[in-house]
């Protein structure tokens, strides 16, 4: 464990006991081009800079949880290429347990081509690579990582049947389940996905799930209620710079949490930081309101620099910036 991870864990321990987070999800290498503006269809734009940065929603959320002081394990796959070696090494460097990270022969690691404009907005093209081969058997073979956790976090960048298998194991063991439904599915989501404890769609994903065009707080409230009607006890819809709207299982009154104001550089990993921070707070027994507030602060901090795993904030930094709201 690095000194940075150890310091974050020690600081967290002053507030509550160590928590355990399991993540079943994607591991990618992000190929990031910084552009003055995002290209329109048929248009070529020149990049002003280029970077290779470890990413993938699963890996990002695992690193974010570890940076916040959680004991975190990931279940996923990398390719047997140079990217795979670097991705595994980076996760271990950040303190993520990689016993459940499998190398896949004759397969490339997952890749993401990311364009980021000068306002911090991005467009992303995914190549699943080894992520497409994460199987239900992989999850079942690593069931103890899920069963020993306080929270399981899943996304939709690995096969759907694998996500469902992970949720089933967690639910049977009484482990809290959090679904970040990204990327949005083009078809109808199985009912089982609406039975997770917490769901954290962004505006686009919320519209795909509910049919409500989420453009402001009021429409987010309507979408939250539809997710509740579908069976999600605690829906949380993220609104970027406008924070998040959420419902918990104890009230029918939606609530709105605002993030601290920051200078946005790159929003690529803000949602992953939000979900991981939310998971850590809920795993520690905090209320949904406290968890959403903490998640908003973590997401805002992650947007202040270029990258993904390398910009995930530490516990003290999130606590400090949360005070600004």
pLDDT in tens, 144-154: 999 999 999 99
Closest CA to 167 of 159, 178, 158, 157: 178
What contacts 279, CB < 8 A, 6 or more positions away?
A: 21, 61, 65, 70, 151, 153, 178, 291
Q: Pull the structure tokens for residue 2.
A: 């690095």
What integer pLDDT is reported at residue 306 of this predicted model?
82
Gap between the terminal Cα atoms of the chain: 32
Residue pair 149/21 in contact by the 8 Å Cβ criterion? yes
Closest CA to 75 of 7, 155, 12, 188: 155
What integer pLDDT is reported at residue 15 of this predicted model?
52
| Catalytic-labelled residue, pool 30, 81, 248, 272 | 272
Residue 108 binned pLDDT confidence (cut-offs 50, 70, 90)? very high
CATH of 3-40+47-322, one of 3.40.1190.20, 3.75.10.10, 3.30.1330.30, 3.40.50.300: 3.40.1190.20
Tokens 């790159």 belong to 266
- Give the phi and the psi of residue 196 in degrees, each rounded to 5: -70, 165
Residue pair 57/27 in contact by the 8 Å Cβ criterion? no
Is the model's pTM score more than 0.75? yes
Q: Pull the structure tokens for residue 27.
A: 């591991």
Residue 155 has pLDDT above 90, yes or no: yes
Q: Coil, strand, or helix at residue 86?
A: helix
CA–CA dist 215, 18 (Å, integer): 38
Active site residue 272: yes
User: Which pLDDT tens digit goes with each residue over 258-288?
Assistant: 999 898 888 888 999 999 999 999 999 999 9
How far, in Å, are 100, 137, 261, 314 from residue 321 at the CA level?
A: 33, 41, 9, 11
Map out the domains of the chain as residue ranges: 3-40+47-322
């Amino acid at each position: 464990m690095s000194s940075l991870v150890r310091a974050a864990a020690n600081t967290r321990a002053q507030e509550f006991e160590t928590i355990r987070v399991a993540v079943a999800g994607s591991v990618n290498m992000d190929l990031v081009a910084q552009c003055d503006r995002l290209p329109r269809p048929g248009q070529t734009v020149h990049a002003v800079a280029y970077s290779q940065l470890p990413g993938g929603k699963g890996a990002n959320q695992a690193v974010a949880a570890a940076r916040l002081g959680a004991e975190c394990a990931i279940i996923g796959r990398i390719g047997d290429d140079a990217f795979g070696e670097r991705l595994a090494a980076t996760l271990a460097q950040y303190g993520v347990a990689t016993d459940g990270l499998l190398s896949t022969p004759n397969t490339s690691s997952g890749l993401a081509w990311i364009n980021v404009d000068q306002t911090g907005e991005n467009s992303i093209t995914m190549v699943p690579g080894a992520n497409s081969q994460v199987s239900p058997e992989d999850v079942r073979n690593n069931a103890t990582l899920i069963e020993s956790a306080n929270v399981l976090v899943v996304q939709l960048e690995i096969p759907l049947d694998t996500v469902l298998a992970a949720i089933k194991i967690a639910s049977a063991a009484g482990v809290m389940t959090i679904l970040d439904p990204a990327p949005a599915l083009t078809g109808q989501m199985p009912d089982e996905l609406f039975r997770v404890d917490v769901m954290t769609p962004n505006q686009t994903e919320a519209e795909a799930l509910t049919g409500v065009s989420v453009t402001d707080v009021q429409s987010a409230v309507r979408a939250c209620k539809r997710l509740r009607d579908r069976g999600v006890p605690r829906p949380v819809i993220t609104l970027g710079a406008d924070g998040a709207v959420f419902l918990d299982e104890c009230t029918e009154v939606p609530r709105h949490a605002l993030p601290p104001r920051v200078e946005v550089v790159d929003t690529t990993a803000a949602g992953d930081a939000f979900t991981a921070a939310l998971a850590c707070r809920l795993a520690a027994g905090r209320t949904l309101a406290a968890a959403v507030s903490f998640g908003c602060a973590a997401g805002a901090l992650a947007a202040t620099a270029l990258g993904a795993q390398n910009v995930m904030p530490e516990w003290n930094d999130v606590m400090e910036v949360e005070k600004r709201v």
